[in-house]
Structure 1
Amino acid sequence: MSDYREKIVLTYRHLLEMHEELQTRIINVGMTGEYSEVNTVFKPGDTYQFDLEQFRGTEDLNLNKLLNFFDELENLMNSLANINGITEEELEDEDL
């Protein structure tokens, strides 16, 4: 693998980490802001799989900005993966 391709794959890995962290932050902002009343029904230890679609259509400008950024990040990641043909094997390769 060329140095250039290695840097592209490493950058994509970093974007994946950012993607996951941003998703968590969006949920946290939503659940402590506009959806705080929903948050009160959860007890410590409860688990729930959130879908970011649940947070769309809100009046919360901050939440909307974060969701827009999330969408832009996903578009960027999809473009990089498509342009460069990044494979799952490359993303899982621990030698990079």
Structure 2
Amino acid sequence: MNTYRDQIVIAIQDLIICRHNLFDNIVNLAMKGELGHLDGAVDQGETYEFKMNHFRGLNDKTVNTVIEICDLIDSKIMILMEENGIDYNEVDFEN
């Protein structure tokens, strides 16, 4: 049976997964919209790792709104961790 603290870690992990999903949506929205000129710029089999800063400053209001939601989730994750004494090694940020 999970303790209260265990359940907080699970909730944080769920927020991290949600945040990663939203970031994927930011990439897809930007590549279909404002950054469409980059589509196909990477050869097949090659990869490129986008960071949030690649999308900050775009004019797309939808992309900017989803970025704001990601920022809020990041902030709330940190608050939950700090308020409950949860260390970084207790959650998987790469998930």
TM-score of the alignment, normalized to the shorter chain, above 0.5:
yes
Question: Alignment RMSD, CA only?
Answer: 1.9
Letter of the structure 1 residue corresponding to residue 79 of structure 2: S
2:62 is the counterpart of 1:62? yes
The runs of at least 4 aligned residues of structure 1 exceeding 6 Å deviation read none
2:18 is the counterpart of 1:39? no
Q: Shift in Å at residue 87 of structure 1? A: 2.4
Gaps of 5+ in 1: none
Letter of the structure 1 residue corresponding to residue 75 of structure 2: N
Distance, in Å, in 2 between the alignment partners of 1:13 and 1:44 is 32
Letter of the structure 2 residue corresponding to residue 71 of structure 1: D
Distance, in Å, in 1 between the alignment partners of 2:69 and 2:10 is 21
Higher fraction of helix: 1
Letter of the structure 2 residue corresponding to residue 58 of structure 1: L
Cα deviation per residue 1:7-53 (whole Å; 9 max; x = unaligned)? 11110111111121111111111111110001231232220111111
TM-score normalised to the size of structure 1? Answer: 0.84
Q: Please list, as runs of the form range in 1=range in 2, the aligned pairs for 1:81-96 lying within 5 A after superposition.
A: 81-91=81-91
Distance, in Å, in 2 between the alignment partners of 1:42 and 1:6 is 42
Gaps of 5+ in 2: none
Q: Which of 1 and 2 has greater Rg?
A: 1
Letter of the structure 1 residue corresponding to residue 78 of structure 2: N
Q: Give 2:76's aligned residue.
A: 76
Q: Judging changes above 3 Å, is the alpha-carbon distance between structure 1 residues 26 and 83 closer, same or farther for their aligned structure 2 residues?
A: same
Distance, in Å, in 2 between the alignment partners of 1:27 and 1:35 is 9
